């Protein structure tokens, strides 16, 4: 690949990007325009500026070298789904799963907010590539932002800078993302997507999913729209390789809603009895999936870093993450100890003295770390980083796993009969809401394929597209559903979770190879307790029985709920999915008699 010499100015590399930057500068009136080259020197210089300006606090350099703390505005700590819009010409194309405003009206409202908003500020031009720079599956974008914090995060999370701009100049296409933190007034905060124009406008928030536009806005909402027209899938999925003692590696793609265990599963540490097993992380949040020429489904991770949930991370739950966030990490909204170490709930050592808002820590008033506090860290720091994370062609997927956070009903694991049944399983995912969005926490809501907040178009069309993609695959992945979050009456988790989840993944892989047995139930194939490897695990027979039970009465209610939900999407729901659902209902009915 030819590279432009260093002295070629970034602004001269793409006339299209430069013209758009001019247009935005006219509107926003910045004091200065800065084109990001993505170099280490640039990162260090920007970080220094933010430290000097007290926007970032350096952490204890002995125990956390290269780490900094960012404290956000207390009102700006999570995604804002009620302020997030998909602005298609035809309202029906955005679907009942999205908030919608007509594009013209949306532009008018947003441009009024952007007018003059960068006066006295620097406008940063951030060219980025989602996916390996040399992958045919990758897609580029440019984010214009007035937040240096966003620039630093984008540098970690994406392939950012000169090389991305070179690819844009070659491709001739890019997603335009315009962002300003504005005055952080929640009443003047909107995240708008224009899939037909491949553009995004985000105002009034500096938080991850609202402000790092390469992530959810581009790599899921805009990309899912593009994927539909181009025959692939953009999904809220981790990608993980499981290596057995024979050295065979199986790749799994797992869709769990926000804060439901993707990062943890993606870098899981095998239990002590699993000698010779290894886990390789390809991605922890987003997967772009393409049917390959050989009839299998291939996945790339469009990101290059992790923007992960901090609370709960410790050497026992997620040792890989715990180790990798001890250097060169940006922490957002955690507490501090007396000697300036970051502190969060779930740590077994250290004592917080300051909470995430910089106030003296008082457990009665606030947790030390905001429940959605996050770390930003390069994927290369992960001890389990997969060599294939940069492979231009991606990795072949053996199984797709849906999951949710359900204290009742959903068993530990079950397998779909075939692709169509699996699509129904995905469409029926429901999960208790978490702190990753600003709404109420702990409420069960429908979250099909973990994409409720992220599908950039009508779910009816989306399910039809899933069915079409499956039909193109000669060797479609097997589809499963898992639930690590079943609780007993006292609210205690029935399943130990974390590393022990490998026992379930092992059954899944064996099912893909036709090596494990199962029992056929009304909702799909479930393991018998003797089908799971439980050696060395302390779990009561009663807990196990509950984890693997199927209660037909409750499932009848569940399917009725799914039926009602699908009906919201009317004519756009594929007939084959409706038929599949009525057959599922039929099966639970007959399993009762």
Q: Per rule CB under 6 A, is residue 309 in the interface with ligand GTP?
A: yes
As given in the structure block, the two tokens for residue 408 are 């009742």
Plot region of 65 (φ>0 → left; ψ -120 to 50 → alpha; else → beta): beta
Closest-CA residue to 569 (of 468, 447, 424, 458): 458
**Angle between the 419-427 and 575-592 helix axes, to the nearest 10 degrees?**
90
Which of 81, 166, 235, 285 contacts ligand SPV by CB under 6 A?
285
d(CA 410, CA 429): 10
Residue 476: name its binding partner from ligand GTP, ligand SPV, Mn ion, none (Cβ under 5 to 8 Å by kind). Answer: none
- Cα torsion 399, 405, 411, 417: sign: negative
Which of 153, 155, 258, 483 contacts ligand GTP by CB under 6 A?
258
Instruction: Decide: helix, strand or coil at residue 427.
Output: helix
Quote the DSSP letter at residue 443: -
- Per-residue x/- mask for Mn ion, residues 152 to 191, rule CB under 5 A? ----------------------------------------
Residues 22-81 touching ligand SPV, rule: CB under 6 A, are: 79
- Per-residue x/- mask for Mn ion, residues 36 to 75, rule CB under 5 A? ----------------------------------------
The smaller minimum CB distance to ligand GTP, of residues 14 and 210, is found at: 210
- HSE (side-chain half, CA atoms, 13 Å) at 469: 26
d(CA 203, CA 154): 17
The smaller minimum CB distance to ligand GTP, of residues 36 and 532, is found at: 532
Which of 103, 161, 208, 394 contacts ligand SPV by CB under 6 A?
208
Minimum distance, C-beta of residue 379 to ligand SPV, in the bound complex (Å): 14
Which of 81, 93, 285, 447 contacts Mn ion by CB under 5 A?
285
Which of 317, 366, 551, 591 contacts ligand GTP by CB under 6 A?
317
Quote the DSSP letter at residue 277: -
Minimum distance, C-beta of residue 493 to ligand GTP, in the bound complex (Å): 5
DSSP-assigned letters across all residues of 31-58: SEEEE----HHHHHHHHHHHHHTTSEEE
- Let me know: does 584 contact 578? Beta carbons within 8 Å: no
d(CA 410, CA 487): 11
Residues 417-446 touching ligand SPV, rule: CB under 6 A, are: 436
Active site includes 254? Answer: no
Residue span binding ligand SPV (CB under 6 A) among the ranges 139-147, 209-217, 265-273, 515-523: 209-217
How many Å separate Cα 216 from the centre of its chain?
7
Which of 209, 214, 312, 426 contacts ligand SPV by CB under 6 A?
209
Quote the DSSP letter at residue 248: -
b/e for 113-124, b at 16 or more Cβ within 10 A?
Answer: bbeebbeebbbb
- Per-residue x/- mask for ligand SPV, residues 306 to 325, rule CB under 6 A? -x------------------
List the catalytic residue out of 36, 87, 129, 260: 260
Q: Per rule CB under 6 A, is residue 397 in the interface with ligand GTP?
A: no
Q: Which residues pair with 440 in a beta bridge?
A: none
The smaller minimum CB distance to ligand SPV, of residues 215 and 503, is found at: 215
Minimum distance, C-beta of residue 545 to ligand SPV, in the bound complex (Å): 33
Binding site for ligand SPV (CB under 6 A): 79, 208-209, 215-216, 258, 285, 307, 436
Residues labelled as active-site residues: 260
């Amino acid at each position: 690949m030819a590279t432009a010499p260093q002295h070629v100015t970034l602004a001269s590399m793409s006339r299209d990007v430069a013209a758009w930057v001019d247009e935005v500068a006219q509107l926003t009136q910045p004091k200065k325009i800065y084109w990001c080259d993505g170099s280490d020197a640039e990162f260090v210089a920007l970080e220094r500026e933010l430290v000097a300006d007290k926007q970032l606090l350096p952490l204890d350099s002995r125990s956390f070298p290269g780490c900094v703390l960012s404290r956000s505005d207390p009102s700006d700590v999570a995604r804002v789904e009620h302020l997030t819009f998909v602005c298609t010409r035809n309202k029906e194309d955005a679907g009942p799963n999205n908030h919608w405003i007509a594009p013209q009206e949306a532009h008018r409202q947003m441009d009024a907010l952007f007018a003059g908003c960068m006066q006295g500020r620097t406008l940063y031009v951030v060219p980025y590539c989602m996916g390996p720079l040399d992958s045919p599956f990758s897609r580029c974008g440019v984010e214009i932002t007035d937040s240096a914090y966003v620039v630093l995060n984008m540098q970690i999370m994406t392939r950012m800078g000169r090389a991305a701009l070179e690819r844009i100049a070659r491709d001739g296409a890019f997603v335009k993302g315009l962002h300003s933190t504005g005055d952080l007034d929640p009443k003047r905060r909107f995240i708008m997507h224009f899939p037909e124009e491949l553009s995004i406008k985000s105002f009034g928030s500096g938080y991850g999913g609202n402000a790092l536009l390469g992530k959810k806005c581009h790599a899921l909402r805009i990309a899912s729209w593009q994927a539909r027209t181009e025959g692939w899938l953009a999904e809220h999925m981790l990608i993980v390789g499981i290596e057995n003692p024979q050295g065979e590696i199986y790749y799994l793609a797992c869709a769990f809603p926000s804060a439901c265990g993707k990062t943890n599963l993606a870098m899981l540490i095998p239990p002590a009895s699993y000698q010779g097993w290894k886990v390789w992380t390809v991605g922890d949040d987003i997967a772009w999936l393409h049917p390959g020429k050989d009839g299998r489904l291939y996945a790339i991770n469009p990101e290059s870093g992790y923007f992960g949930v901090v609370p709960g991370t410790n050497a026992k739950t997620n040792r890989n993450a715990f180790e990798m966030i001890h250097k060169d990490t940006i922490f957002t909204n955690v507490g501090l100890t007396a000697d300036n170490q970051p502190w969060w709930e779930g740590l077994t050592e250290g004592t917080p003295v300051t909470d995430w808002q910089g106030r003296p820590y008082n457990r009665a008033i606030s947790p030390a770390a905001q429940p959605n506090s996050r770390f930003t860290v390069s994927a290369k720091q992960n001890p389990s980083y997969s060599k294939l994370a940069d492979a231009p062609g991606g990795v072949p997927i053996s199984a797709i796993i849906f999951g949710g956070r359900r204290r009742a009903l959903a068993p530990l694991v079950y397998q779909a009969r075939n692709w169509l049944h699996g699509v129904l399983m995905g469409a029926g995912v429901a999960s208790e809401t978490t702190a990753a969005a600003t709404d109420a926490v702990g409420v069960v809501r429908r979250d099909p394929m973990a994409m409720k907040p992220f599908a950039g178009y009508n779910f009816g069309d989306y399910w039809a597209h899933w069915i079409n993609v499956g039909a193109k695959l000669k060797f479609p992945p097997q589809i499963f559903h898992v639930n690590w979050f079943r609780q007993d009456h006292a609210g205690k988790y029935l399943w130990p979770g974390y590393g022990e989840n490998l026992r379930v993944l092992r059954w899944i892989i064996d099912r893909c190879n036709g090596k494990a047995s199962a029992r056929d139930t009304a909702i799909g194939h479930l393991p018998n307790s003797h089908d799971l490897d439980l050696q060395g695990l302390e779990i009561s027979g009663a807990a196990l029985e509950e984890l693997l039970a199927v209660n037909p009465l409750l499932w009848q209610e569940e399917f009725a709920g799914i039926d009602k939900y699908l009906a919201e999407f009317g004519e756009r729901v594929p007939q084959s999915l409706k038929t599949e659902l009525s057959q599922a209902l039929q099966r639970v009915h007959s399993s009762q008699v």
